[in-house]
Structure 1
Amino acid sequence: MLKIFITATDTDAGKTYFAQILTAALVKKDYQVAVFKPISAGCALKHTAQGEILVNEDAQLLLQQANCGQGISEINPIAFEQPIAPHIAAALMSVDIKLADINAGYDSVIARACDIVITEGAGGWRLPLGKGKFLSEFVQQTKQQVILVVNMKLGCLNHAVLTYEAIVADGLDCIGWVANCAEPMNYLTENIAQLKTLIPAPMIAQLGFEIDINKAVSSVDVSSITART
């Protein structure tokens, strides 16, 4: 089973968008793909047959692309209503975000024995969970391979290199990076060329903003990923 974790240079950098595209691309190649978003903040309370649950829009978007029969609560087990840093949302509710709970949720996804599990992080690589813990520790414990989404804007070179270095320093393999070009950037071509020299991992996609996920699939080169299955 291939286990992939998608992180980014900052929040709102395009993790969900890329995770949707990657999931759709792998499903199109007949892989069984499960998804996981361990933590979300910014959810709507919805009424279901099982009662009221908090539903995160990003988790719903991932659910639409996966093909392993998951439910929303399995995909996103830890959810907070307010769109704020998760550790602050947890403190306001007098609860702890525990690595053991995240790992337990991940184990439930792994138990489906799909070909590939794609996990979308929250924020950047060092997302605080509270009490000195970080979401990156979960990635270490579960030995996932990492893809870095770079939000192409002024300052991204520094953010990308620091994030890549942190991933490697944590003993993990960054198997590729993505240039997310949702907003106009001066000298975009030159910045991407520089990142290709600074990050010793393949660029697997250059994304604009294509609303139709199925059309965006052609922007992603999954060959280096599928070679690992």
Structure 2
Amino acid sequence: MKRKYFISGTDTDAGKTFVSVALLNAFAQQGHSTLGLKPLAAGSELLNGEEKNDDAVNLANASTVKLSYQQTNPVLLKAPMAPHIAAQRENKRLSSQQLVGFVRGTLMSANAALTLVEGAGGWRVPLNNRETLADVVKALNLDVILVVGMKLGCLNHAILTMEAIERDGLKVAGWIANCIDPEMDGLEENIQTLQQYLRAPLIGVMPFSEKLSDIPSDWLNPKFLDL
């Protein structure tokens, strides 16, 4: 059985890439092939003489299926800001059709037991004056994994994001509580509240950590690992 998910977050700093890499590693440790894609990224740096996005590089490094950088991240914008604004500054135009084509082309040539397509920012990030990144997910018809950055204000962000995803006719396969604030007061109570409001299973609680190597192996619900 092959699984494909879109990774969305409650905010731009929810920790989508950190969680995505952890998911790819967890499935690879079970002997499954994995692939992480970042079709759109805003924010680049010079790595080995080539402009690349750090999130996309991390996804590629964690994937067992190896692709070229351009396949992992076909649209790279230099400035770390809202993608449609960064594109305007580079005299480029983003469209959902363009991004869908890139992703479909890659998925036709690359097979993995688990494929994660990571978004940029939150669910309703604009691509242009008419479209948002949500239009890409709808066209690809991917189930969504929602990464909730656990911090003050996350309840409203998570509930609204879940409502928006469901309104768009897509299924949320599950959500992950990513503990990005080590000093968050009422963490457990917030997680319990989200379990009551979010109509999807909690598939993992990612403890605060600055390194993936420090994360305990039991953070992810083992049932989710079954393919």
| TM-score range normalised by the length of the shorter chain | over 0.9
In 2, the alpha carbon distance for the partners of 1:174 and 1:222 equals: 18
TM-score by length of 1: 0.92
Which is richer in strand? 1
Q: Deviations over 1:24-60 (max 9, x none)?
A: 1111111111111111111013455xxxx42000011
In 1, the alpha carbon distance for the partners of 2:113 and 2:103 equals: 15
Alignment check: 8 A CA contact 1:152 1:181 kept: yes
Alignment check: 8 A CA contact 2:8 2:145 kept: yes
Q: Could you tell me which residue of structure 2 aligns to residue 169 of structure 1?
A: 167
Alignment check: 8 A CA contact 2:24 2:114 kept: no
Q: Could you tell me which residue of structure 1 aligns to residue 126 of structure 2?
A: 128
Q: Deviations over 1:86-123 (max 9, x none)?
A: 10011111111122221122123212122221011111
Q: Could you tell me which residue of structure 1 aligns to residue 191 of structure 2?
A: 192
Which ranges in structure 1 are unaligned for 5 or more consecutive residues?
none
| Structure 2 SS opposite 1:60 | helix
Alignment check: 8 A CA contact 2:74 2:102 kept: yes
In 2, the alpha carbon distance for the partners of 1:71 and 1:212 equals: 25
Alignment check: 8 A CA contact 1:21 1:214 kept: no
In 1, the alpha carbon distance for the partners of 2:48 and 2:62 equals: 23
Alignment check: 8 A CA contact 1:36 1:109 kept: no
- Partner amino acid, structure 1, of 2:26: A
Within 5 A, what are the aligned runs for 1:211-222?
211-216=210-215, 217-222=217-222
In 2, the alpha carbon distance for the partners of 1:55 and 1:219 equals: 30
In 2, the alpha carbon distance for the partners of 1:82 and 1:220 equals: 33
Which ranges in structure 2 are unaligned for 5 or more consecutive residues?
none
In 2, the alpha carbon distance for the partners of 1:45 and 1:73 equals: 15
- Partner amino acid, structure 2, of 1:201: A
Q: Could you tell me which residue of structure 2 aligns to residue 80 of structure 1?
A: 77
Kindly tell me the number of residue pairs found equivalent between the two proteins.
223
Within 5 A, what are the aligned runs for 1:1-229?
1-46=2-47, 53-111=50-108, 112-183=110-181, 184-216=183-215, 217-224=217-224, 226-227=225-226, 229=227
| Structure 2 SS opposite 1:130 | coil
CA RMSD across the alignment: 1.5
User: How high is the sequence identity, in percent, across the aligned residues?
Assistant: 35
Against the structure 1 CA distance between its residues 214 and 71, is the aligned structure 2 distance closer, same or farther, given a 3 Å change threshold? farther
Alignment check: 8 A CA contact 2:38 2:117 kept: yes
